[in-house]
């Protein structure tokens, strides 16, 4: 294929079902976003418990935003990134309902019994943190983490936002830049599900973001950023990557120490 295509082959039925969701979402959002996104051009047939046996995408080319040095070009690119999120977060609810988009899975688990709302997903994430990450932290940090998350969960005002379609893993390495034109492409939509728009939006994007906001948007944004290193801790434990776990734990210590 001359490296023009990327093929994904699921190893478990749950992963295949997750890929079907991703296909539905990508096809549904295409008319609403101007940036390049991956589109499935080849879908393998169902095979037993696997609703899809493989998916082929035309590879999007570009330099990851994480590799673009600071400067005037990066500032211009942030405008395009903010515009993309504004478009993604403004997709009509009817379109998302028709695509049967589930609530965001904080834990990343590819199971059929996903959370019924944003709070339930966050509670499951907290349960995983208690079980797997808290024992690895210093005692004062443990108390700060547990107290901070429990206070957030106890505040009903933290869950009174307008739910939108999230990218769910909106990191600079998932944004590809055409350095000649400045156009961007966005990849890795596997976690694209419903949730709080503040979860997706970086602080640097705020001048360029025009999606749904409310008076507690910034507080929730700061809270989610503090929790971000726990994704690295839990994933590192899952794949037995000790270096990733140590680095993520240092970030947790810096946020909550």
106-151 residue pLDDT tens: 987 766 678 999 999 999 999 999 999 999 999 999 999 999 999 9
Q: Which residues contact 63 (CB under 8 A, 6 or more apart)?
A: 176, 177, 179
Establish how many alpha carbons lie within 13 A of residue 134's alpha carbon, considering only the half-sphere containing its beta carbon.
15
- What would the CATH number be for the domain defined by 62-256? 3.90.1200.10
Residue 106 to residue 109: CA distance in whole angstroms: 8
Arithmetic mean of pLDDT over the chain: 94
Residue 40 to residue 63: CA distance in whole angstroms: 21
Crossing angle for the helix pair 139-154 and 217-239, to the nearest 10 degrees: 130
Residue 124 to residue 93: CA distance in whole angstroms: 25
Give pTM, 2 decimals: 0.92
User: Domain locations in the chain?
Assistant: 62-256
Residue 1 to residue 3: CA distance in whole angstroms: 5
Q: pLDDT tens-digit profile of 168-188? A: 999 999 999 998 898 999 999
How many other C-beta atoms lie within 10 A of the C-beta of residue 226? Answer: 19
Is the pLDDT confidence value at 2 over 60?
Answer: no
Q: Are 204 and 232 in contact (CB under 8 A)?
A: no
Of 201, 145, 143, 142, nearest to 170 by C-alpha is 201
Predicted confidence at residue 113, as pLDDT, reads 74
> How close are the terminal C-alpha atoms of the chain, in Å?
50
């Amino acid at each position: 294929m001359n490296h023009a295509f990327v093929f994904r082959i699921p190893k478990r039925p749950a992963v295949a079902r997750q890929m079907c969701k991703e296909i539905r979402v990508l096809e549904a959002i295409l008319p609403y976003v101007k940036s390049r996104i991956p589109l499935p051009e080849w879908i393998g047939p169902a095979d037993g418990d696997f609703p899809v046996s493989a998916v082929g995408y035309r590879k999007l080319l570009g330099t990851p935003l994480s590799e673009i040095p600071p400067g005037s070009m990066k500032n211009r690119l942030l405008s395009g990134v903010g515009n993309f999120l504004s478009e993604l977060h403004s997709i009509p609810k009817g379109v998302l309902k028709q695509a049967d988009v589930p609530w965001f899975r904080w834990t990343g688990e590819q199971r059929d019994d996903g959370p019924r709302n944003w709070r339930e997903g966050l509670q499951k994430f907290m349960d995983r943190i208690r079980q797997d990450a808290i024992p690895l932290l210093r005692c004062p940090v443990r108390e700060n983490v547990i107290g901070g998350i429990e206070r957030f969960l106890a505040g009903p005002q933290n869950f009174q936002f307008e739910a939108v379609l999230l990218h769910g893993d909106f990191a600079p390495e998932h944004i590809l830049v055409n350095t000649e034109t400045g156009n961007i492409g966005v990849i890795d939509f596997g976690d694209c599900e419903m949730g709080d728009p503040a979860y997706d939006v970086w602080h640097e994007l705020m001048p360029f973001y025009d999606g749904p906001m409310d008076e507690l948007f910034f507080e929730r944004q700061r809270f989610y950023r503090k929790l971000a290193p726990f994704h690295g801790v839990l994933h590192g434990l899952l794949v037995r990557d000790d270096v990733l776990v140590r680095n993520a734990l240092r970030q947790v210590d810096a946020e909550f120490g």
